[in-house]
Amino acid sequence: MTAEREARPAGAPVRRGRGRRPADEVRAEVLAAAGALLLREGMAAFTIERVAQEAAVSKTTLYKWWPSRGTLALDGYFHAVESTLAFPDTGDIRADLTAQVRAFVRLLAGTSAGRVIAELIGQAQTDPALSAALLERYSGPRRDLAVARLRRAQEQGRLRADADPRILVDQLWGACYHRLLLPNEPLTEEFAARLVDNLLRGVAA
Amino acid sequence: MTAEREARPAGAPVRRGRGRRPADEVRAEVLAAAGALLLREGMAAFTIERVAQEAAVSKTTLYKWWPSRGTLALDGYFHAVESTLAFPDTGDIRADLTAQVRAFVRLLAGTSAGRVIAELIGQAQTDPALSAALLERYSGPRRDLAVARLRRAQEQGRLRADADPRILVDQLWGACYHRLLLPNEPLTEEFAARLVDNLLRGVAA
């Protein structure tokens, strides 16, 4: 930012210094830059330096908010995919779950997001700090959103009252992660739809 | 093995040279040594050198059968857990699935096997050769065993004929891997039993 101020020719209009941008705005710009970089170039290219450069903030600012490269990557990832993965509530739990799990599969299988989250989960297996960040900043909040939607369906009498929504999360989105991380079988929208159908109807004859 | 021959005192009984052991026997000993080393000390300590030493074979022999450390680790792992993870067939699919998924959860949560397979899956996300070996030597064969048991249940009229056994695998064992790799919620035997119950009965109200 110093460079930018120095570059202003004498007499040019005074731009509000970047240091004066409201913190929320800077934070949102950083997350957008981090998410875009991650989805465009993957974890290998993701460095604090690159994000600082693309968001035009100092590395010091980044480290103030994010203790590590991994936590910044996770927040950037969550920011990038959040809107795609909204949990609809039309009152029809079958349709809403099918739409949500289909959207999740499209994101994992049809965009670079799948590779990115697979690498983050992979790295977390031998990196306790990244693992803690992943649980707290990504999988925990995503679980909570799903559980909230499932609990509403229970309150509306659409799901059995004795079914544990936290377990349903593992049998829907967890099943998708299984095919992402161990791709013996393909991740398709048909798969997504059948996950929901199996779980709602049951498969006993 | 040369060292061993040299160490035989003059006049001592001639042991059959290790080089003469039948290949199947050597292979089984290597797998046992590899599996034991892996479960005892984890992936970080797992090297071709260590396995060669513990199984008393040459590194050349190991490389003849296993192209990499990862493939040897996977075969050793599979060998070590195979008997624990047998697929019972008592004719009662609910009881058999519950027993199998419970045993799987005990293995993942109660022994070092969970950490080992988590690290192997994690590393595979950025190591294409390990990923190929994992699918071919571990998750593929494990899937096939589960699918075979589920298909028998379909033939016996216990599961809906239109349910895809390959998808049920993701909703049972895949759900367990989800809690192993993203441990926001605990991996318990109660969880295992409820996975089976949810899927067989269905959770729609």
E strands in chain A: none
User: Are A27 and A75 spatial neighbours (Cβ–Cβ below 8 Å)?
Assistant: no
Q: Are residues B72 and B100 in the same domain?
A: no
Q: Are residues B91 and B160 in the same domain?
A: yes
Q: Are residues B67 and B158 in the same domain?
A: no
Residue B6 has a pLDDT of 39
- Residue A122 has which token pair? 């992979």
Q: Is the pLDDT of residue A28 over 90?
A: yes
Which residue on chain B is closest to A172 by alpha carbon?
B171
Residue B140 has a pLDDT of 95
Q: Are residues A143 and A57 in the same domain?
A: no
Tell me the nearest-neighbour CA distance from B80 into chain A, angstroms: 20
* Mean pLDDT computed over A109-125: 93
Residue B9 has a pLDDT of 44
- Secondary structure letter of residue A16 according to DSSP: P
Residue B167 has a pLDDT of 98
Q: Is the pLDDT of residue A1 over 90?
A: no
Q: Are residues A100 and A193 in the same domain?
A: yes
Domain boundary among B79, B98, B126: B79
DSSP states along B15-27: PPPGGGS-HHHHH
Q: Are residues A114 and A189 in the same domain?
A: yes
Nearest to A204 among B139, B191, B201 (CB): B201
Q: Are residues B190 and B89 in the same domain?
A: yes
Question: What is the CATH classification number for the domain harbouring A42?
Answer: 1.10.357.10
Nearest to B174 among A178, A198, A200 (CB): A178
Q: Is the pLDDT of residue B59 over 50?
A: yes
Q: Are residues A150 and A60 in the same domain?
A: no
Matching residue, tokens 């996950």 = A195
Q: How many domains does chain A have?
A: 2
Nearest to B126 among A122, A175, A199 (CB): A122
Tell me the nearest-neighbour CA distance from A58 into chain B, angstroms: 30
Q: Is the pLDDT of residue B13 over 50?
A: no
A50 burial (CB, 10 Å; 0-12 / 13-18 / 19+) is middle
> For the stretch B42-53, what's the b/e string if a residue is b when 16 or more beta carbons lie within 10 angstroms of its beta carbon?
ebeebebeebbe
- Residue A194 has which token pair? 């059948």
* Mean pLDDT computed over B71-76: 92
Domain boundary among A40, A60, A79: A79
Tell me the ipTM for this assembly: 0.87
Cα gap B138→B153, rounded to integer Å: 23
Residue A11 has a pLDDT of 43
- Record: contact A181-B123, CB cut-off 8 A: no
How does pLDDT run across A39-76, given as a tens digit for each residue?
999 888 899 999 999 999 999 999 999 988 888 999 99
Which residue on chain B is closest to A137 by alpha carbon?
B184
Q: Are residues A102 and A196 in the same domain?
A: yes
Torsion, Cα of A120, A124, A127, A133 (10° steps) = 80
Q: Are residues A49 and A96 in the same domain?
A: no
Cα gap A45→B27, rounded to integer Å: 41
Cα gap A88→A81, rounded to integer Å: 15
Q: Are residues B95 and B178 in the same domain?
A: yes
Nearest to B205 among A124, A158, A198 (CB): A158
Q: Is the pLDDT of residue B114 over 90?
A: yes
Q: Are residues B96 and B175 in the same domain?
A: yes
Domain boundary among B22, B48, B79: B79
Q: Which domain holds residue B43?
A: 2-79
A179 burial (CB, 10 Å; 0-12 / 13-18 / 19+) is buried
Number of H helices, E strands in chain A: 11, 0
Tell me the nearest-neighbour CA distance from A184 into chain B, angstroms: 6
Residue B131 confidence class, pLDDT cut points 50, 70, 90: very high
How many inter-chain contacts (A to B, CB under 8 Å) are there?
163
